[in-house]
Structure 1
Amino acid sequence: MSTTEQLRVAPLTGADDLATASGLYRDVFGYTKPEATLNPRLLMAMAANGGSMVGAWDGDRLVAFGYGFTGHAGGETYFYSQAVVVADGLQGSGVGRRIKGEQRRLALSNGLHHMRWAYNPILSRNAHFNLSVLGAVGRWFVPDCYGDGESRLVVDWDLDADTPAPVPAPWASYSAAEWGRVDRGEGAAAVALPSERSRVTPEVVARMDDAFSGLFADGLVARSCVRQDADTAVYVFTGSDA
């Protein structure tokens, strides 16, 4: 296995590579239903019409893949990253960051200065990467985003920012009994969640959904997610202009 730095990361356009990417997408997420799979023909059409497909190869083996397209909403134009998938055993190795970096390069080369994407906010590792590592800001909370009963947090990443803004830290420690509940501070709020997906329960998800809905309704945005200890990770929210 090559090191992360040795992987070849580049745009992905060929029909064979896109078919392989579709297979990787199914394998990583465990999707079997037709509505959840990724059509290689759709990827080819996107690649030929302004979409962006990025792959990472270890030799001849495709080990990661990201794709997206230009979006326009609310008078703003941006790059929307629909998904980044990394082969089993490589999550957390930095491959995803390289894919995101190539997406950023391509977006900027096309005159786009912001990137958006959605993720399940109960996944604290993803939240840490998106908010605390890359420096994206969670600006929109969408319950039942894809009609599957699961909520998504939509983040916005300023592609012109060379380094992330300072990450706000939690001001208290939290127990498992407080997972999903809001702790309000002065002009800020914290929400603790399980640090591991295996500890997530429907009750915690329901409390988180209520907490996030209320915080976004109050005009706050998600700024960071940091691991408190082996059991708990903590989101920090501040005002949108903080």
Structure 2
Amino acid sequence: MTAEWRAAREAADRAGVTVRELRGMGEFRQAYQLFDDIWHFSPGDPPVPVELMVTFTHAGGYVAGAFQGGELAGASVGFRAEDRTLHSHVTGARIGRGIGYALKLHQRAWCLDRGLDRISWTFDPLVRRNARFNLVKLGARPVAYLEGFYGALDDAINRGDESDRLMTVWELAGTPAAPPDPPYAVGVAVRDERPVAGRADGPAVLVATPRDIETLRREDPAVGKAWRLAVREVLGGLMARGGRVAGLTGDGSYIVVDRRFRP
């Protein structure tokens, strides 16, 4: 057993799950229902239908689940892309149990067994807990800001907002370079839960995130919209000009490094 498979097994044991590839229509339907329970998508608009899970499995893609007893508590679906990459299209798990981490480590070991070098996926740059998981816990790094990537989404989590996403890549060998030391310019700050524009110049710029964008979307859509536009303008603008996201601060601000900076 490789070190990566041992790490995946240990993470699954800590989460109290067994992670394995899914088999048969019954398990694919369980994954579909799990995703529906998480996102509550509108009829006819699932993130991944059962038929596509079948196709990905047949074509050598990744369709796996985390089981607690006989219950499916997490699942992940991905397909192979160019440059020895697996694109992880959708991953959903019960929050707060370490199941998502167990799935990602299983996915990493699965990829390395097949000669793949990296895993890519997208996430909403405003969801702070996902940014922390992706950048801090896994060591993945955003590589592009994608404005309105999925068009209008009508699920319970994203409804009423625009689908900006960060394309993110997890290089499976090595660790990312550390961000530069402070001081940092502040491109977006937080005041009374609202975004405040600052100065997006200097070798490294901080771009704040809201504490809980999902609650803001429901309870104060105007403030949620203000966050979307502020982060799009500053983070998206910096990345469009060649800036790279080098990390995340303890309070949930992206550290964006000017393309001319070399650690």
Counterpart code for 1:194: P
Counterpart code for 1:137: R
TM-score, normalised to structure 1's length? 0.86
Q: CA deviation at 1:160?
A: 1.1
Q: CA deviation at 1:119?
A: 0.5
Counterpart for residue 150 of structure 1 = 163
Q: Does 2:143 match 1:139? A: yes
Q: Does 2:38 match 1:28? A: yes
**Pick aligned residue for 2:92 from 79, 85, 96:** 85
Unaligned 5+ segments in structure 2 are 1-11, 153-161, 217-222
Counterpart for residue 42 of structure 1 = 52
**Separation of aligned partners in 1, 2:119 and 2:191:** 34
Unaligned 5+ segments in structure 1 are none
**Separation of aligned partners in 1, 2:47 and 2:205:** 37
Counterpart code for 1:43: M
Aligned length: 230
> CA distance change for structure 1 residues 167 and 188 in 2, over 3 Å: closer, same or farther?
closer
Counterpart for residue 176 of structure 1 = 191
Q: CA deviation at 1:165?
A: 4.6
Residue deviations 1:28-55, cap 9 Å, x none? Answer: 0111231235311210111111110111
SS of the equivalent of 1:34 reads coil
SS of the equivalent of 1:193 reads coil
Counterpart for residue 206 of structure 1 = 229
**Separation of aligned partners in 2, 1:44 and 1:236:** 40
Q: Does 2:255 match 1:236? A: yes
**Higher normalized strand content (fraction of residues):** 1
Counterpart code for 1:115: I
Counterpart code for 2:85: Y
Counterpart code for 1:201: G
SS of the equivalent of 2:45 reads helix
Counterpart for residue 12 of structure 1 = 22
Q: CA deviation at 1:150?
A: 1.4
Residue deviations 1:75-115, cap 9 Å, x none? Answer: x231100111013xxx1321101100111111111111111
Residue deviations 1:129-149, cap 9 Å, x none? Answer: 101111111111110101123
Counterpart for residue 220 of structure 1 = 243
**Separation of aligned partners in 1, 2:254 and 2:116:** 28
**Separation of aligned partners in 1, 2:66 and 2:180:** 32
Counterpart for residue 189 of structure 1 = 205
> CA distance change for structure 1 residues 20 and 170 in 2, over 3 Å: closer, same or farther?
farther
Counterpart code for 1:151: D
**Pick aligned residue for 1:55 from 54, 65, 72:** 65
Contact 1:121 1:127 in 2 (8 A): yes
